[in-house]
Structure 1
Amino acid sequence: MQIVLASTSPYRREIIARLGLPFEAVAPHCDETPLPGETALMTATRLARAKAESLAGRFPAALIIGSDQVALLDGQQIGKPLEFERGVEMLAWMSGRTVLFHSALALVNSATGRVQETVGLTRVTLRELSETQIRHYLTREPDALHCAGAAKSEGLGGALIARIESDDPNSLIGVPLFELVTMLGNESVEIL
């Protein structure tokens, strides 16, 4: 079966590529705005599924991988800052604190309608960061403005982090890979 990743993220593509399976990465069609009263877990799960399902009509006989990540601190969802000054504010707020990242994964079999879902949880404790350090980081890693809380563990982002706790280190980058292998196996896709 054709495998489709409902994402244009180069980091998610790199994670999926590790499996050595042919796949296509396609931009999903999905409004990522959290709904009123929705928890971080609910938002991440809904968006992962919505991203995958948004491509089902275009790929009627495929396994479609959708993923989404929502960060949470003090009961508040942390989105993507998109703007430099907003990124500075977010990282200053998260500095020296532990943030919970919800990395949701949905695998949709568009031929059968079967949906498998999971969420990987990662606790990330950031170092105490000065405003100067934050500004240097965002200047050198402008893609971070498109990541939850501007906290990107890849590249220079590793310098932000004091500690990571997770069952799957791939979850923080955006795809709970260990669970994806199980889900693909449930669809008779053998990795090994």
Structure 2
Amino acid sequence: MKIVLASASQFRKRALDMLGVPYEICPSRIDEKAIRDNDPASLTRKLAEEKARKVASEHLDAVVVSGDAVVSKAGRIYEKPRNLAEAAQFLRELSGGEFQFVTALAVMHSQTRRMLSTVEVSDISFRPLAEGEIQSYIEKYSVLNYAGAFESDAVLFFADRICGSYNFVTALPVSRLIVFLRAQGIKI
């Protein structure tokens, strides 16, 4: 049984690379904007599961791994920014405050159609950010590819405090991924 990662994310690839298992990459290419929910945990789970279903329908001999992540602050959900101006605005709004990095993981066995999924949350507090460092960050990093316009380097640069899951490093909860892969018959 092969493993298929339903993502081209370098961070999700890193999660599977850490496990040392062979895998293929097949991004799901679902219309993420067609799936909506006001609850960040529910939204990320729906998206991760739909990605897994889509790729499982194309790979009938696989265990499919997928994920999704959003940032949530004060009832607002921050997905990937549409442009650099929006990315800078996201970082301004996250500056000096606490927010949640919400990550969903879905692992689906394409033959049995068994879906395992979970959602994990990290509470992150950013120190106040200077406008110059926001601009420097969005120029240096591919911020349009990241929920909330930041990735793990930004957490190292900007965070005062992190509590909960360290899922922001790989955008997949690696410990739970191991458990789910084993439950789907993958030897790790």
Which bin holds the TM-score, normalised by the shorter protein? over 0.9
Could you report, residue by residue, the CA deviation over 1:12-39 in whole angstroms, capped at 9, with x for unpaired residues? 1011111111001111031112655531
The match for 1:139 is: 139
Query: Of Structure 1 and Structure 2, which has the larger fraction of its residues in helix?
Result: 2
The match for 1:114 is: 114
Gaps of 5+ in 2: none
The match for 2:178 is: 181
Could you report, residue by residue, the CA deviation over 1:159-185 in whole angstroms, capped at 9, with x for unpaired residues? 122221123x23553101110111111
Secondary structure of the residue that 1:8 maps to in structure 2?
coil
Amino acid aligned to 1:45: R
Q: 1:72 to 1:23 in 2, by over 3 A?
A: same
1:86 aligns with 2:86: yes
Q: 1:140 to 1:101 in 2, by over 3 A?
A: same
Gaps of 5+ in 1: none
The match for 2:125 is: 125
The match for 1:33 is: 33
Structure 1 vs Structure 2 CA RMSD:
1.5
TM-score with structure 1 length normalisation?
A: 0.92
1:164 aligns with 2:162: yes
The match for 1:42 is: 42
The match for 2:75 is: 75
Q: C-alpha separation between the residues in 2 aligned to 1:39 and 1:188?
A: 32
Percent identity over the alignment is 29
Aligned residues: 188
Compute the displacement of 1:59 (Å).
0.3
Amino acid aligned to 1:73: K
